[in-house]
Amino acid sequence: MTASFDRRATFAAYGAFLLLVALAPLVLDPFWLNRIAKYLVYGMLGVAIALGWGYAGILNLGQGLFFGLGAYMLAMALKLASPASQQPGAHGPVPDFMLSNAEPGAIVDLCCINRGAFLWQPFQHQGFGLAMGLLLPMAVAFVLGAVVFRKRIAGVFVSIITLAVVLLVRLLLVDAQPLTNGFNGLTDLAWLRIGGLEFDPFGLPAYYLVAGTLAVVLVGTRLLVATRAGLILKAAGEDPLRARYLGFDVAHYQTFFFTLSAGIAAVAGMLYVVVAEFASPSFMDLAFSISMVVWAAVGGRSSLLGACLGAILINLLEATASETPALVEAWKVVVGLVFVLVVLYLPKGIAGWGHDLLARRRRPASHAGKVPQAVQPAEAAPVLPAREAA
């Protein structure tokens, strides 16, 4: 397959997908509009995994950490803006769960109702929650990446470290029950407001907020991986020793893309709060982080669009199977079987299979009109006379 044809096929695939996403509300009711919006958020997570795993060779089993941090930062701001938290203290509204958990006679104030509750005060401003939802996960990823990649830790050890970090943060989040509501998470959230626009989770504004963000993430990352930095990262992912030998600072590129991947996951977490109206410690569960890896593997970890489609299709399959009477008891088995079949017979994922299929169809067509040139007989080597040969 020629490079120009490959670019045209990629452009067509991206265009068709984004057009389908844009036109979907024409045939969807509010329930399905909200459900598809959640799946598009999962698609963003697939892109984040593909960026790290497919291009940088970094298998992050703790991506749920960045998703969860982004979700909690915005959820804290929306919690304080909800009617359930409008009993004011001296420094602003107080979350309802803090009131129910407070000791008798406690002062109803974020400074005094619980130890450390003052940390909620800045989240009275929604802009602070949005900013922290992006900056905190990226800062954590930057520090973690700088430590790990500067020490040239690679392979399964990176996966183990990221897994340990997400489990540690989840444990701290649950143990801080007076401040975070523990296992119950943050519920009864207000709707997101930007300017005068209110984002109803079941309305068009929320859907197009998610769809537009996904479009920016998809196109932006696709352009980025085609740059010099993206090509260096790809080379480093395939052979880091050779990349270092050629003079490239591999750790620098790995840290940058690891942080960018965390930022995408954080944005996805905030958008999920907008359409799902809750934040939960389950976002940092091991099973959820592994699910992201499965989505990328099925869709094609070397393809940003493929990983995105894998996340959407698997979640759509799970929802359909779990709601089918004949599959209520076995829908997880069905989904697991699909994953096993894809790994066995489509090791490059759905995107890789589609690429190979186009390549096979393109190859015969590109040679069909060519007439083979007549083979010219090779000129015989001149025979030197015996005297000259001597």
The residue among 45 and 244 whose pLDDT is bigger is 45
Write out the H or E segment, with its range, that includes residue 209. Answer: helix 204-225
**What radius of gyration, in Å, describes the C-alpha atoms of the chain?**
26
When the pLDDT of each residue in the chain is averaged and rounded to a whole number, the result is 84
Measure the CA angle with vertex 57, ends 52 and 61; round to 5°. 60
C-alpha to C-alpha distance for 199 and 209, rounded to whole angstroms: 9
Burial class (CB in 10 A: 0-12, 13-18, 19+), 70: buried
**What is the rounded distance in angstroms from the CA atom of residue 352 to the CA atom of residue 203?**
35
Quick one: DSSP state of residue 192?
Answer: E
What is the pLDDT at residue 115?
Answer: 59
Residue 22 — pLDDT band, cuts 50, 70, 90?
A: very high
Phi (first) and psi of residue 59, to 5 degrees? -90, 100
Closest to 116 (Cα-Cα) out of 196, 178, 188: 178
- Summarised one tens digit per residue, pLDDT across range 49-103 is 999 998 888 899 999 999 999 999 999 999 988 877 766 554 567 787 877 766 5
Instruction: Report CA-CA distances (Å) from 295 to 34, 48, 340.
Output: 20, 11, 12
Q: What is the pLDDT of residues 140-180, one digit of tens each?
A: 999 999 999 999 888 889 999 999 999 999 999 999 888 88
Q: Which tokens hold the place of 101?
A: 């958990």
**What is d(CA 203, CA 198) in angstroms, rounded to the nearest whole number?**
10
The pLDDT tens digits of the residues spanning 330-381 come to 777 877 787 788 778 887 888 877 777 776 776 655 554 454 554 455 444 4
Among the listed residues 314, 281, 283, the one whose alpha carbon sits nearest the alpha carbon of residue 297? 314
Domain ranges of the chain: 28-281
Question: How many Cα atoms within 13 Å fall on the side-chain side of residue 170?
Answer: 26
**Range among 99-108, 112-121, 168-177 rated most confident:** 168-177
- The average pLDDT across 235-247 equals 84
> Which has more pLDDT, 48 or 106?
48
Q: Is the pLDDT of residue 322 over 90?
A: no
Distances (CA, A) of 230 to 40, 222, 237, 241: 24, 9, 10, 17
- b/e for 166-196, b at 16 or more Cβ within 10 A? bbebbeebbeeebbbbeeebbbebbbbeeee
Nearest-10 Cα torsion for 316, 318, 320, 321? 160
8 A C-beta contact, residue 275 and residue 38: yes
- DSSP single-letter state for residue 190: P
Q: Check pLDDT > 90 for residue 8.
A: no
DSSP, collapsed to helix, strand or coil, labels residue 186 as strand
Mean pLDDT computed over 255-275: 96
Provide φ and ψ at 115, rounded to 5°: -65, 125
Answer whether 199's CB lies under 8 Å from 209's CB.
yes
- Give which of 9, 20, 71 is closest to 312, Cα–Cα: 20
